Chains A and B, each alone.
Chain A
Amino acid sequence: MSKYIIKRLLISVVILFFVTLILYSVMRCIPTSYVESVARERASIPGGKSYQEWLTQLNAAYGFDRGILAGYFTNWLPTAIRGDFGDSWYFNIPVVEKFNNVIWNSFALGALSFVLELLIAIPLGILAARKQYSKTDYAVTVFALIGISLPTFFFATILKYVLSVKLGWLDLFGQVGRYYEQLDTWGKILDVAKHYIMPVITLVIVSIGSLMRYTRTNMLEVLNADYIRTARAKGVSENKVINYHAFRNTLIPIVTIVGGTIPSLFAGALITETLFQIEGIGWTSYQAMIAGDIPFSMFYMTFSAILTLLGTLIADILYAVVDPRVRVA
């Protein structure tokens, strides 16, 4: 097992290396006039350095005065390995510091909607599978597919329109209310919670569908299995068949896939955070990317790549751990 994990980790490192190399190359292919315009913009800020100074500094700092490979190996890679991703151009503070400031907002948002998603999707999926081709099944299927088919921005806008414009219950966007500073600790928590309602609903509805479908498919497969027929033949009560025999077996693929999504809780929800202006990693990196903030964008994409790799790794390991029938070579 540990041998397998080490092997997978090594492969992941190699993949990460190539991914960052590709990302770095793409970044370097950004026409230089773009960096020049950034330098010009920087130079126009009163009290700043001159345009030429900025240009040379930017070019030197990001290894732009060298070739792509040379820049990657001598400039970006050595510092990135040490966890130093440079200073963000847009936020003017070290990238890692900005990341530390915002990541927990994203995590809170992601974790909340993740828990809700599990609580809603798994029971509904199982319900749909138990009553296959019934009205309930159709309703759940349609609901799940609508969730999958809803563009995040459209659903978020509808929520805003209904909940905050028409009903006036919630603020249109923002993470805290206007009087946040004057509230006591409990009030502050409630205020933030209130501002998380719409983003959480958006995230849950938009991402709940696939898990629901997945649960249903797996439950159907399990329900068709021979051991379920055996259990029923034994005279085990239907509830026990479902909750004890079938559910446990359904959990195997679900745990695998759910475990694999845990790292993505840190990835932030780019569109949702941007639309609701939640100060998370998604919105922050969106601002940075729009502004052409190469250090921050590089960091964010590397970070996302690591999370994806971690997700697959966790899923594969969990698959072996949860299901004793799986033997890892």
Chain B
Amino acid sequence: MAEDKKNNASRAGTLDDEQRVKVLSPSMLVFKRFIRNRLAIVGVIFILFMFLFSFVGGWISPYGEDEVFTHYQGLEKDYASVTVSSDYRYTPFEGAQFPSIAQSKFILALNTGKTDFEAQNQNYSIEERGEDLYVINGLTQVLKGISNKMNTKLQPVSDASLPEGLLEAANQAVGEGLERFTHQDVEYVVSKEGKEVRVGSAAPVALASKKVYDAKDGAAQMSFAFRLAAETAINEGRLSFEADGRTYQLEIDPEVGATVTLDGEIYALISNMVVNSYISGQNLTLEFKDAAKEAIAADATEFTHEGQEYAVYRNNNVWDIKAETQTLVVNAYEAPSGAHWLGTDGNGMDLLTRIMYGGRVSLIIGFIVVFIAALLGVVLGGMAGYFSGWVDGLIMRIVDIFNCIPSTPLIIILGSIMDAQRVNPQIRMIYLMLILGFLSWPGVARIVRGQILSLREQEFMTATEACGLSISHRIFRHLVPNVIPQLIVICTMDLGSTIITESTLSFLGLGVKFPFASWGNIISAVSTVHVMTNYWFVWIPAGLCILLTVLGFNFIGDGLRDAFDPKMKR
């Protein structure tokens, strides 16, 4: 530039009009040369585009940097299971006990066709009241005797006094071959074993039935009397029955079972199917159970209850009822669409928006790092160049030392330390800029020093000295401005390489961290081969952004270097 000025000045004296028109100011010359370079123009377009894309784009984009997109997905969740009841259920009589050992003895007796059995020194008799409906009576032996061919002599078992006339009634019953008889409202059962005849008073202990009762409120227990009355009514086909002093209406559906209504409201369901909820702590409503049973009876594969859809899957005698539930799902790796032009990433965030914000981060980091490096480089390089001697020696040795420090390993180590210390991502970004800036100033310092060394010897510097300007004024007002062309070139190139360094670190997971986006950490998703193979839209656009930006800076830097070079003639 300085040379340009001189050339113009020396020619000025002999210019004729024709030539005068062509004389341009040095900066205009540089500009003209620059815009004549097609690559540089392409670079400017790239960079302008990237700036608009990152800074305006992020602002225009309807989505936020870390906005997660989700949708509801219908999932069939296990809701309930229905099983056909094949076991007897026992309802003990009020105040009576029917222990489990007796229950198993009952099954045993039933299978062998006996009508009485004994458990834990207690005799029971079985009374069939309908299909799969038995009343179990507890027997208290009162009389026993040996039967002969003709007559039987019964004797009281204990010394306790018998009800009046019982002996006679018993004898009569045995003589008539009756199995049971009633005396004074107490039922007695006659049982024979070989020649021995026993007479015992029978009191109902429990009701055994395969029917399942679902009551209105889950905890309600149906009484013995209610069940007996209800099931008897079902077996007899009656439409109402009385129990516990209330009249219940019955609605019988041979496939499903029966519905008991009280005062027009469903009171209980009776069927041979058990409906259990898969979800712990959830009580299924009677209506749901009814609907489920009806669906199963009708062999349906799905039914709707209260607006909710259920699917029924049969597995032998078990039916699984699955509810169509809506689950919140993150839109991970969604392919490009109208809503998300570049799809979404693994966290369900809009990739285009992430890339825009990533561009902001990358560009800002690039500029700040280069600014730090340029500032340090100009000050130290300027001092070294101007003062020479021991100042120069010292600064240049520092430059040598910094040049020798392997920056990539050092940054990786510092990054992994920050990882271990769980540094806040925002503070981490600041550290990253400082570290990168502090490691890259020596290159700038070297160039500035070299330039200043040669400029220092020129006449205009002698002039400044003669004018008595202060040293800092001489360095920063007269020397440094002359270094600016080279400085701009190297800074432009450095911007590119800083963006590459930053994105490489972010790619390795050691630079900019989530939730902040950076082109590097968007691409780092490819460390899972699955993502690389199947979701090109996650990493290719971000990579192209890096490439275009760095290429743009390099084109501009290259063009500027040519334009600033007075020897270049085009």
Contact = CB atoms under 8 A, between A and B. Distances in A.
Interface in A215-263: none
A304 B417 contact: no
Nearest to B546: A151
By CB atoms of chain A within 10 A, which of B39, B400, B546, B551 has the most?
A: B400
Contacts of A145: 39, 551, 554-555, 558
B507 A289 contact: no
A246 B507 CA distance: 44
A148 B504 CA distance: 14
A34 B420 contact: yes
A289 B39 contact: no
Nearest to A166: B533
A4 to B, nearest CB: 16
Contact of A149 (B416, B496, B508): B496
B410 interface: yes
A1 interface: no
Contacts of B529: 172
A19 B401 CA distance: 6
Interface string A154-166: 1001101100010
A148 B492 CA distance: 14
B417 A308 contact: no
Interface string B524-551: 0010010011001001100100110011
B547 A138 contact: no
Given A154-B546, A308-B403, A308-B404, A149 B551 contact: yes
Contacts of B555: 145
B102 to A, nearest CB: 56
Interface string B366-398: 000000000000000000000000000000010
A133 B39 contact: no
A286 B533 CA distance: 25
Contact of B409 (A30, A153, A292, A301): A301
By CB atoms of chain B within 10 A, which of A37, A145, A157, A165 has the most?
A: A145
Given A19-B401, A146-B551, A157 B539 contact: yes
A151 B504 contact: yes
Interface size grouping (class) on chain B: 35 or more
A93 B412 CA distance: 22
A91 interface: no
A160 B536 CA distance: 12
A15 B397 contact: yes
A25 to B, nearest CB: 11
Given A142-B39, A304-B409, A305-B404, A161 B536 contact: yes
A290 B416 CA distance: 6
B523 interface: yes
A210 B404 CA distance: 20
A271 B507 CA distance: 10
Given A157-B532, A165-B532, A301 B406 contact: yes
Interface string A19-42: 100110011001101100100000
A59 interface: no
Interface size grouping (class) on chain A: 35 or more
B interface secondary structure, majority: helix
A22 B439 CA distance: 13
A246 to B, nearest CB: 18
Contacts of A309: 404
A86 B380 CA distance: 38
B532 A292 contact: no
Contact of B406 (A14, A271, A304): A304
Given A18-B401, A292-B420, A305-B406, A154 B543 contact: yes
Given A157-B532, A271-B504, A289-B413, A16 B404 contact: yes
B405 interface: yes
A150 B420 CA distance: 30
A30 B419 CA distance: 12
A22 B554 CA distance: 33
Interface string A289-311: 11110000100110011001100
28 contacts: A16-B404, A18-B397, A22-B405, A34-B417, A138-B38, A145-B39, A149-B547, A149-B551, A149-B553, A149-B554, A151-B503, A151-B546, A153-B503, A153-B520, A154-B547, A157-B532, A157-B543, A172-B529, A271-B508, A285-B409, A289-B416, A290-B412, A290-B416, A297-B409, A297-B413, A305-B405, A305-B406, A308-B404
Given A150-B550, A157-B532, 6 more contacts: A19-B405, A133-B570, A142-B39, A271-B504, A286-B412, A290-B416
Interface of B: 38-39, 397, 400-401, 403-406, 408-410, 412-414, 416-417, 420-421, 496, 500, 503-504, 507-508, 520, 523, 526, 529, 532-533, 536, 539-540, 543, 546-547, 550-551, 553-555, 558, 570
